[in-house]
Amino acid sequence: MKKQIALFAVFFTFLALNAGAQQVWTLEQCVNHAITNNLQLKQQMLLVEIAKADLLQSKLDLLPGISGNASHAYNYGQTIDRYTNRFATSRVQSNNFYLQGGVTLFNGFQKLNGIKQNQLNLMASQQDADKYMNDMSINIATFYLQVLFYKELVQIRTKQLDITSQQVERMKKLVNAGTMAPGDAYTIEAQYAVEESSLIDAENNLDVSLLTLSQLLDLPSAEGFDIEVPALSIEGDPKLVGNPDQIFLYAQANMPEIKASEYRMQSSERQLARAKGNYYPSLSLSGSWGTGYSGASQYLDSTDFSLKTTPWDDQIRDNNNQTIGLYLTIPILNGWQSRTMVSKAKISLDNSKLDYELQKMMLRKTIQQAWADARASLKQYHASEKKVNATRESFRYAEQKFDVGIMNSVDYNNAKKDLSNAESEQIQSKFDFIFKTTVLDFYMGKPLTLKK
- Does position 340 have pLDDT exceeding 90, yes or no? yes
Whole-number average pLDDT of the chain:
87
Contact yes or no for 124/260 (Cβ under 8 A): yes
Confidence at residue 311, expressed as pLDDT on a 0 to 100 scale: 86
Q: What is the mean pLDDT of residues 24-34?
A: 93
- What CA–CA distance (Å, rounded) separates 108 from 112? 9
Comparing C-alpha atoms, which of 214, 199, 221, 191 is closest to residue 144? 214
Strands 87-88 and 306-309: unpaired
pLDDT tens-digit series, residues 86-116: 766 677 788 899 999 999 999 999 999 999 9
Cα→Cα distances 188→47, 49, 169, 412, Å: 63, 66, 10, 9
How high is the pLDDT of residue 231? Answer: 83
Whether the pLDDT of residue 251 is over 60: the answer is: yes
Q: Which range, 64-78, 340-354, 393-407, 430-444, is most confident?
A: 340-354
Q: State the Cα–Cα distance between residues 307 and 230, nearest whole angstrom.
A: 102
Nearest to 141 by CA among 216, 202, 201: 216
> 267-276, 377-386, 421-430 — which one is most confidently predicted on average?
267-276
Task: Give the model's confidence band at 19: pLDDT under 50 very low, under 70 low, under 90 confident, else very high.
Answer: very low
pLDDT at 33: 95
Distance between CA 323 and CA 96 in Å, rounded?
A: 16
- Specify the amino acid at residue 438: T
Percent helix / strand / coil, the chain, rounded to 5: 65, 15, 20
Q: Are 427 and 149 in contact (CB under 8 A)?
A: yes
Buried b (16+ CB within 10 A) or exposed e, 337-347: ebeebbeebee
Q: Percentage of the chain surpassing pLDDT 90?
A: 52
**Average of per-residue pLDDT across 175-200:** 81
> How many Cα atoms are found within 13 Å in the side-chain-facing hemisphere of 442?
24
As a whole-number percent, the residues of the chain with pLDDT over 70 amount to 90
Question: Would you give the DSSP letter of residue 311?
Answer: P
Q: How confident is the model at residue 69 (pLDDT cuts 50, 70, 90)?
A: very high
How far apart CA 42 and CA 48 sit, in angstroms, is 10
Residue 274 banded pLDDT, cuts 50, 70, 90: very high
Average of per-residue pLDDT across 40-66 = 96
Provide the residue type at 325 as one letter: G
**Residue 300: CA atoms inside 13 Å, Cβ hemisphere, count?**
2
pLDDT at residue 88 in the model? 67
Question: Residue 9 pLDDT more than 50?
Answer: no
Q: What is 24-62+108-280+335-443's CATH number, 1.20.140.10, 1.20.1600.10, 3.20.20.120, 3.40.50.740? A: 1.20.1600.10
Please write the tens of the pLDDT for every residue from 220-238. 988 889 999 888 777 767 7
Segment 342-376, tens digit of pLDDT: 999 999 999 999 999 999 999 999 999 999 999 99
Cross-strand pairs, 73: 94
What sign results for the dihedral spanned by CA atoms 74, 79, 85, 89?
positive
- The count of C-alpha atoms lying within 13 angstroms of the C-alpha of 262, restricted to the half-sphere facing its C-beta, is 10
- State the pLDDT confidence band at 82, using cuts at 50, 70 and 90: low
What is the pLDDT, as a whole number, of residue 2?
41
Q: What ranges do the domains of the chain cover? A: 24-62+108-280+335-443
